[in-house]
Structure 1
């Protein structure tokens, strides 16, 4: 059974916007109301923040906390919010496939941008503020004329949702990161794809240009940060140091330091010139969603799932200040241009601001319990099957349900999960050799067998590509590598990864033992890597 990447996109899009479902103290699952809070920074004079609450996007003055204005009548959840470089306009992308441009001064709707056929996951302004770029679950990047709302171009090529965007400092290039595991560099002069960057083995979550525009950094769920030569598109290096997916990236203003935040709850600081990890900071109790350097480069701010914003001394790695906890996870942080103010994008779960006419009230969002089995005994075989369901929401609910019955689920999973066996490299080499066969039955079977091995076959394939040979065999080899780089996770792989998630959530000694057994498997297997990462987070 093949998993449609659109299903995975749907799951990731929703989990991206609602992480922190589990209360760290009570263990109860709290599903957020659709009316979540979204904050963003206005880089003008005194810092302001926009947040979406209830039926409006509200503008707040940060120093005083006083509401400065409200954008009413918005009846769908906002997926992304960004301000123009001059701070006068606000763009919002939402789950109704639309983009809206707002006047910050009077909170009036300036115009709507219509065209996307899926959730708008990312929006960003060009450095001169004349062009707005948007990325969507419909797999397209679109460029818009800010002054007229006219669609200037569609940038086509991604095979899955576009999750992140970044303009080069000179505005001549746009980088897009996607759930198809690629990064693409687009030439803004003609809208053509200039480079396609392939090295990641999972969703790309973050992209960032260095201040001089010569290097692009990318972060992925494969737990790596990669550096790319912008001019040539060549891969410079892989920075491996996280035990979880990389969710956020930030270059220091001088371009000498790169910071990365991860689902492993840590921040890594890298020296860009040597690609050496200077230090790793463990201080948050949740995913590090966002990072920002102060304009002087001396301070790093981090925002996390644990509701905290922390300021760090870049030179020493020591905590300078921990700001008061927010009402919800902190999904973004940003410094004002003068460095005097800091804004936090706060996605609140515990309270929701509601407006009815002229009445404003604060209402608690009731915590919801995970699905229960009623009085019936669990059908573990069916749950095991559903764990690989193509309906991502079904699989997610099954994961939560299994985690709620550890006495039954952990022994069952122990019997189903086995440590990954070492790969027979001679067998893989034989398959590669068969790609050069003149017999169609032989080389076609070899191709299918290599694709079935997945990413574990890639090192052997890559080695074979270093010694190119003429003929159709080389073309077949290159095509297999391309297909592997773009392949969605198999149903069996997804089931195993979700099962690891169940074991991690149960937090029982028996579950730890299962993870320890799985961690002894072949080092190149995803199951082994996920089990090892889960053990590092097990507490």
Structure 2
């Protein structure tokens, strides 16, 4: 894999998906490392955004394109309704029915959240955010809420059923570049731009834990494990740190 931008597992953890700087979307067998499928996008674009859910991959571009790809079968599913405006950062709902991305309406500011129905590609409602950029987003495992981090160092919780903003919290001053909910949605870990991460409680935004190192030249996501018992973060020394979650915050005792 040459100059990778993104990597993640499909459902079942037997297929790994990667995106390269040269615009190749690839799926690999975890069992033997063989390349299963590849979609060449004919673009060299570091601003491409990717989201995985089930067997589907959502890809959005600064040219306004939003594509759904079945990485297990290696086929295009559909193009979502073209936003005709730059798209940044994206996510797929846990049930795979909704796609969302940050969009610069008419190429201008402020940014809005655009939603699509994945089955038809039809554009749904949009939510104005009044900021320059969307930095990161993630759906709660239940699919009931969407967390969105912005360039204004704010985190917004969106109710998916109504597409209404529930509450907003401050994020670290260095900004956010990765979000991950624990299984029951009570905690959210935010990876910061200054080689650090924080864990906050989604009920009130209180920061419960923070950690960082002195290597501010690296960026790494911080992720909860599927059972909520641990979280992992890529450290500046090239190692992966693993933290245990206190029993009162773990979804499984």
TM-score, normalised by the number of residues in structure 1 = 0.40
Paired residues of 2:63 and 2:87 also in contact (CA < 8 A): yes
Whether 2:222 is the aligned partner of 1:297: answer no
Aligned equivalent of 1:123: 50
Alpha-carbon distance in structure 2 between the residues aligned to 1:300 and 1:235: 27
Residues of 2 paired with 1:149 and 1:177: CA distance?
Answer: 25
Question: Counterparts of 1:209-358 in structure 2 under 5 Å?
Answer: 209-273=139-203, 275-285=204-214, 286=216, 289-305=220-236, 307-315=238-246
Give runs of aligned pairs for residues 22-421 of structure 1, distance below 5 A. Answer: 57=1, 76-115=2-41, 117-119=43-45, 121-127=48-54, 129=55, 131-146=56-71, 147-157=73-83, 159-162=85-88, 164-177=89-102, 181-199=111-129, 201-273=131-203, 275-285=204-214, 286=216, 289-305=220-236, 307-315=238-246
In 1, the alpha carbon distance for the partners of 2:40 and 2:167 equals 39
Contact kept? 1:200, 1:222, Cα under 8 Å: no
* Structure 2: gaps of 5 or more residues: 248-253
Structure 1 residue 176 displacement after superposition: 2.3
**1:115 Cα shift?**
4.4
Cα drift, residue 246 of structure 1:
0.9
More strand by share: 2
Determine the C-alpha separation between the residues in 1 that align with 2:234 and 2:103: 23
User: Judging changes above 3 Å, is the alpha-carbon distance between structure 1 residues 307 and 148 closer, same or farther for their aligned structure 2 residues?
Assistant: closer
Any runs of at least 4 consecutive aligned residues in structure 1 with deviations exceeding 6 A, and if so which?
A: none
Number of positions where the alignment pairs a residue of Structure 1 with one of Structure 2:
238
User: Residue 220 of structure 2 aligns to a residue in which SS?
Assistant: strand
- Tell me how far apart the structure 1 counterparts of residues 197 and 19 of structure 2 sit (CA, whole Å): 28
The 1:109–1:314 alpha-carbon spacing in structure 2 relative to 1, beyond 3 Å, is: closer
1:82–1:123 CA contact under 8 A, matched in 2:
no
CA contact (8 A) 2:149 2:155 kept: yes
The alignment partner of 1:150 has SS state of strand
Q: Is the alpha carbon distance of 1:103 and 1:283 closer, same or farther for their aligned partners in structure 2, counting shifts above 3 Å?
A: closer
Unaligned runs of 5+ in 1: 1-56, 58-75, 317-539
Task: Return the alpha-carbon distance in structure 2 between the equivalents of residues 305 and 290 of structure 1.
Answer: 12
**Is this contact kept in 2: 1:290–1:304, CA < 8 A?**
no
Q: Which has the higher contact order (CA 8 A, sep 6+)?
A: 1
TM-score, normalising length: structure 2: 0.79
C-alpha RMSD of matched pairs (Å): 2.8
Q: Is the 8 A contact 2:80 2:116 kept in 1?
A: no
SS of the equivalent of 2:64 reads coil
SS in 1 for 2:50: strand
Q: 1:300 to 1:78 in 2, by over 3 A?
A: closer
Match of 2:250 in 1: none
SS at match of 2:221: strand
Measure the CA separation in 2 of the matches of 1:150 and 1:88. Answer: 20
Normalized per residue, which structure has more helix?
1
Structure 1 residue 139 displacement after superposition:
3.2
Deviation of 1:305 (Å): 4.4
